[in-house]
Chains A and B, each alone.
Chain A
Amino acid sequence: MATFNTKKILYASPSLIPAIAERILDQFRAEGYEVNCDQLSNGGYDISLRKGGFFKSVLGMKSALKISLQPRNNEIAFEAGVGIFGQQVIPTAISMFFFWPVLITQIWGMVKQSKLDDQALQIAEEVIYYSNSNNNCSTNNYANTAKRFCTACGAENKAEAKFCNACGTKLD
């Protein structure tokens, strides 16, 4: 459902999934997000990301940005949507609350505005890019070329930037 999620097939070996998941977790954890990651039996990963004030609780369950990385033939299926923190469901199966469709629309709108899904997708694509360009790429090498994303407006900044080049917000 394109309205409520972002999907993309990443043309890379599924063996990169753990590295992509780790990189997404590290990046968002560094930005103050509460993170959760479940490794699935098929080799895929199910990631939950949330930050206070951004994702509200629904009937006591914490909503979150859910990122799914699934092996698909010789590719990786990336999907980002709104779901419940820590639950392996993407993104719309939880309909126990009558107004869940309204809430998911509103929360997804905030995700899109902040480009959180794009940020996660970009991290995945960067891991693949650096893996392709240099199979022996070290973590340090990657870190030197990594980018930072503004948590206020989602703009991309250089890794060493202290303030967002788009909105001026201090980068933590």
Chain B
Amino acid sequence: MFFNEEGILNIDEAVLETPSYKKIMEDGIVTEEELVSQAQKVVSMLQTMEKKYNEEQLSEIKALLTESSVLYAVYNIHSIQNLNK
């Protein structure tokens, strides 16, 4: 589901196959409108999930999103620190 046969994360393959990514990248240019539209789509999905799943399931989803966001944030902060060295 999340990993390929070598145990490596395969989410980017799923990204490449996602209609929204394909549509946005069709002309090779990302516009502000496309960025806003994608952001709204994410918010809309979260709102739908909030109604659809129970509290325990939502807690797990939120924990994953939060931990992933922490990783992404600290990774980029670390990269900026290195640039300033």
Chain A positions 38-89 with a Cβ under 8 Å from a chain B Cβ:
53, 56-60
Q: Are A60 and B72 in contact (CB under 8 A)?
A: no
Chain B contact residues, majority secondary structure: helix
Q: Chain A: interface secondary structure?
A: loop
Task: Decide if B4 touches A95 in the complex (CB within 8 Å).
Answer: no
Q: How large is the interface on B (under 10, 10 to 19, 20 to 34, 35 or more residues)?
A: 10 to 19
Report which A residues bind B (CB closer than 8 A): 1, 53, 56-60, 92-93, 95, 97-103, 106-107
| B:26-78 near A, CB below 8 Å | 68, 71-72, 75-76, 78
Closest-by-CB residue of A relative to B73 is A101
Q: In whole angstroms, how far apart are the Cα atoms of A16 and B12 in the complex?
A: 39
By a CB distance below 8 angstroms, the chain B residues around A92 are 75, 78-79, 82
| Contact (Cβ within 8 A) A95 B76 | yes
Do A103 and B79 touch across chains, with their CB atoms under 8 A apart? no
The reply to whether A59 and B82 form a contact with Cβ atoms under 8 Å apart is no
Which residues of A sit under 8 angstroms from B6, Cβ to Cβ?
53, 56
Closest A residue to B3 by CB, please name it. Answer: A106
Which of B4, B12, B76, B82 is the one whose CB lies under 8 Å from A1? Answer: B82
CB distance from A112 to the nearest CB of B (A): 15
- How far is it, in angstroms, between the C-alpha of A26 and the C-alpha of B8 when the chains are bound? 29
A98 x B8 contact (CB < 8 A)? no
Bound Cα distance from A57 to B10, whole angstroms: 10
17 of the cross-chain contacts (CB-CB < 8 Å) are A1-B82, A56-B8, A58-B12, A59-B12, A59-B16, A92-B82, A95-B76, A95-B79, A97-B15, A98-B11, A99-B11, A99-B68, A101-B71, A101-B75, A103-B9, A106-B9, A107-B8
